Amino acid sequence: MTLKRISILLSFSVFILYGGLILSLFYFYNGQLFLETIKSERTLFSIRLSLITATIATIASLIIAIPSAYALSRFRFPGHGLIDTILELPMIISPVALGATILIFFNNPFGILLQERGVQFVFTVYGIVLAQFITTLGIAIRLIKAAMDEIPVRYEEVARTLGATPVKAFFTITMPLSKKGILAASILTWAKALGEFGATITIAGSMAMKTETIPIAIFMRLANADIEGTVVLVLILVFIGLSVLYGVRLLTRRTSPQ
Amino acid sequence: MPFIELKNIQKYVLKDINLAIYDREILALVGPNGSGKTTILNIIAGLTGYRGDVFFDGKNVNKIPAHKRGVGYLLQDLALFPHLDVVSNIAYGLKIRHYPEMIIKNRVEELMGALHITRLKGNYPQQLSGGEKQRVAIARAIAPFQKVLLLDEPTSSLDAQTAKYFRIELKTLLKRLEITAIIVMHDLLGAEEIADRIAILHKGRIEQVSKPEDILFHPGSDRVSEFIGMPNIIHCDRCRVLSTGLIEVTSGDLAIVLPYEGTKISKIAISPHDIYISDTEPPGPALNRFKGVVTEVIPLRSLVRVKVNVLGRELLTELSGEMFDEMNLSVGKEVFIIIKLRRLRYAE
């Protein structure tokens, strides 16, 4: 067997693995229950809450991630290596540990003051957004930095000799050239935020109709041994995720200038 | 008064560079790799920090950032913006400076016409050939009415013949638009064709700044002489126009025939590698073919330089070590030499 055949076979095995897992859900699929569940106020609340919190967390991540990624990609400054390393923190420690860290922070004097004088994060929707934001920020920076590293700095230098300020060069050259990478990073960040569970449940808890995102709803249904209900929610999550990824793929293909 | 002046510039390999470029002058910076040529361009463009002073038209521009210097820069890799088509690439500098639409349109069309790239209008950089990219990049660099243009190896991606025509065309364009240009080149022949003056750079120091013929006939140092290939300089005593568009120049007993371009010739420069050497009499016409005796053998890394006494005059020739071994040359051996007619350079 050639290397080509082995590698193709292995790539198919990945498809079979994920596809098989999704297909196996249909063993417990109940059409009547699916319609009832999806129409229920509680499910609709979970979907709405997940979409809104993931979108806000993604936007907040991007606002910080784009300039941070640019700084890490283009400039060398004291602490560069340290920042570059700490980006992986959400990936190397468990989301529950990350959530616990945030919870502990809000129990120290500064955290308590922040909650009393500012925003209440623990056991609120703000907590969900914060958990999603903290778990996705590092990944967003890492992905956008990778996209910006691909763009030679010479393009910006030429733009500057043509009269563009560094800011204008960034918006007219670097941003358009890395838009595909930024879009891909946004989608992955959003998908990661949508599926975030460990940190969210630690900070915001699992209160129905209050902090129940789709992953938390899945957990709660499973905890009550409601397999059919769990299947419905997992299918909703899979459907949202796959349609967004597919949509983005179409979008990036169409917006390509060449 | 110089239009651009560098005073005591230090950066990386550059050591105390002092250089003046005059208004509407084309200056070629020539030197081996790593001599600091591109760094000088980056300093003038304001793309890198440096120690020393840079003046534009008498004004110190040390604190003026790149986007306010008004210097066009053609990079060696051209760096055309891949997400913009040809027109948008050329118009970039004009749009960023908020020129009115009408001026942008006219300027882009004028430059596309001057550089013969009008037909490439809607194309993207990825669809262009090396030569076409070169033209688009030049149009983009000078579009925002830049009075100074820096060019880093502008012909490096072109074949020898195209490069030659391109240099002539570029010189005409620069002179017509009254642009002061500094061109980095690594080959002296190309620089001679385009530049008003040539600066020879070696290990971060300027060895000589002179007119092209002065570099060739009066190299200021051994390093310059070595860099330009240690040419044999022959001072001519007499010139005689032959009937067939040729001119015969005589120096002592040595008579060399050259193409006649309507002017008398006072000096000839012959590069050692443009002199063939043979241990047997070569066939064909005896034009510029002489008999001589080897007087000195200088082995270099992969080459051997051989001094040959021809009619009482010593000529330096150059050949590969392989050829040298094959001919078994040694001091005192009788040889034949042929001077390649096409590669001769001369001063009027």
Q: What does the domain layout of chain B look like in residue ranges?
A: 4-227, 233-347
Contact criterion met (CB < 8 Å) for A163 and B141: no
- Most A CBs within 10 A among B38, B92, B95, B146, hence the mutation to make, goes to B92
Give the span between the Cα atoms of A64 and A71, in whole angstroms. Answer: 11
Pairing of strands B148-152, B180-185: parallel
Confidence of residue A91 (pLDDT cuts 50, 70, 90): confident
Confidence of residue B343 (pLDDT cuts 50, 70, 90): low
Q: Which residue has the tokens 């004009």?
A: B94
Same fold, B4-227 and B233-347: no
**Can you give the pLDDT at residue B157?**
80
Give the span between the Cα atoms of B214 and B196, in whole angstroms. Answer: 11
| B67, B70, B93 member nearest A165 (Cβ) | B67
Which sequence spans correspond to the domains of chain A?
44-255
Give the span between the Cα atoms of B232 and B236, in whole angstroms. Answer: 13
**Can you give the pLDDT at residue B1?**
67
Pick the more confident residue, A249 or A7.
A7
| A155, A166, A176 member nearest B79 (Cβ) | A155
Average pLDDT of chain A? 92
∠ CA B209-B213-B217 to the nearest 5 degrees? 95
| B47, B81, B124 member nearest A173 (Cβ) | B81
| B73, B77, B124 member nearest A257 (Cβ) | B124
Residue A190 neighbours by CB under 8 Å, 6+ apart: A54, A55, A58, A244
Average pLDDT of chain B? 92
H helix intervals, chain A: 3-25, 31-39, 41-74, 80-86, 89-92, 95-105, 109-117, 125-149, 153-161, 166-169, 175-177, 179-194, 198-204, 214-223, 227-255
Contact criterion met (CB < 8 Å) for B81 and A157: no
**Can you give the pLDDT at residue A254?**
57
**Can you give the pLDDT at residue B273?**
86
Average pLDDT over residues A142-165: 96
Give the span between the Cα atoms of B140 and B135, in whole angstroms. Answer: 9
Confidence of residue A257 (pLDDT cuts 50, 70, 90): very low
**Can you give the pLDDT at residue B284?**
81
Cβ contact B29:B185 at 8 Å: yes
User: A169: which chain B residues are within 8 Å (Cβ-Cβ)?
Assistant: 67
- pLDDT higher than 90, residue B47: yes
Residue B278 neighbours by CB under 8 Å, 6+ apart: B327, B335, B336, B337, B338
- The pLDDT > 70 percentage for chain B reads 98
pLDDT per position as a tens digit, A103-119: 999 999 999 999 999 89
Contact criterion met (CB < 8 Å) for A157 and B66: yes
User: Has this prediction a pTM greater than 0.90?
Assistant: no
Contact criterion met (CB < 8 Å) for B67 and A161: yes
pLDDT per position as a tens digit, B55-77: 999 999 999 999 999 999 999 99
The token duo for B338 is 């042929």
User: A162: which chain B residues are within 8 Å (Cβ-Cβ)?
Assistant: 67, 72, 92-93, 96, 140-141, 143-144
Confidence of residue A252 (pLDDT cuts 50, 70, 90): low
**Can you give the pLDDT at residue A61?**
97
**Can you give the pLDDT at residue B181?**
97
Class of domain B233-347 (CATH, top level)? mainly beta
Q: Does A152 touch chain B (CB under 8 A)?
A: yes
Q: Does A175 touch chain B (CB under 8 A)?
A: no
As a whole number of Å, the CA-based R_g of chain B is 24
Confidence of residue A243 (pLDDT cuts 50, 70, 90): confident
**Can you give the pLDDT at residue B345?**
72
Give the span between the Cα atoms of B329 and B240, in whole angstroms. Answer: 35
User: A164: which chain B residues are within 8 Å (Cβ-Cβ)?
Assistant: 67, 92-93, 96
| B77, B93, B124 member nearest A162 (Cβ) | B93
pLDDT per position as a tens digit, A31-46: 888 899 889 999 999 9
**Can you give the pLDDT at residue B259?**
84
Give the span between the Cα atoms of A125 and A46, in whole angstroms. Answer: 12
pLDDT per position as a tens digit, B251-286: 888 999 888 888 888 888 888 988 999 999 888 888
**Can you give the pLDDT at residue B7?**
97
User: B79: which chain A residues are within 8 Å (Cβ-Cβ)?
Assistant: 152, 154-155, 157-158
Confidence of residue A202 (pLDDT cuts 50, 70, 90): very high
How does DSSP classify residue A121?
-
Pick the CATH number of A44-255 from 1.10.3720.10, 3.50.7.10, 3.90.10.10, 3.40.50.2300: 1.10.3720.10
- pLDDT higher than 50, residue A258: no
- The pLDDT > 70 percentage for chain A reads 97
Cβ contact B144:B94 at 8 Å: yes
- pLDDT higher than 90, residue B19: yes
User: B71: which chain A residues are within 8 Å (Cβ-Cβ)?
Assistant: 161
- pLDDT higher than 60, residue A255: no
Residue of A nearest to B140 (CA): A162
Mark which residues 76-95 of B lie under 8 Å from A by CB.
Answer: 77, 79, 81-84, 92-93
Residue of A nearest to B48 (CA): A157
pLDDT per position as a tens digit, B165-223: 999 999 999 999 999 999 999 888 889 989 999 999 999 999 999 999 899 888 999 88
- Most A CBs within 10 A among B39, B44, B47, hence the mutation to make, goes to B47
Contact criterion met (CB < 8 Å) for B67 and A154: no
User: B92: which chain A residues are within 8 Å (Cβ-Cβ)?
Assistant: 159, 162, 164, 172
Residue B37 neighbours by CB under 8 Å, 6+ apart: B29, B30, B31, B152, B184, B201
State the complex-level ipTM: 0.85
- pLDDT higher than 70, residue B342: no
Cβ contact B218:B198 at 8 Å: no
Which amino acid makes up residue B29? Answer: L
Confidence of residue B101 (pLDDT cuts 50, 70, 90): very high
Cβ contact B309:B293 at 8 Å: yes
Q: Which CATH superfamily is domain B4-227 in?
A: P-loop containing nucleotide triphosphate hydrolases (3.40.50.300)
Confidence of residue B301 (pLDDT cuts 50, 70, 90): confident
Q: Does A162 touch chain B (CB under 8 A)?
A: yes
**Can you give the pLDDT at residue B51?**
97
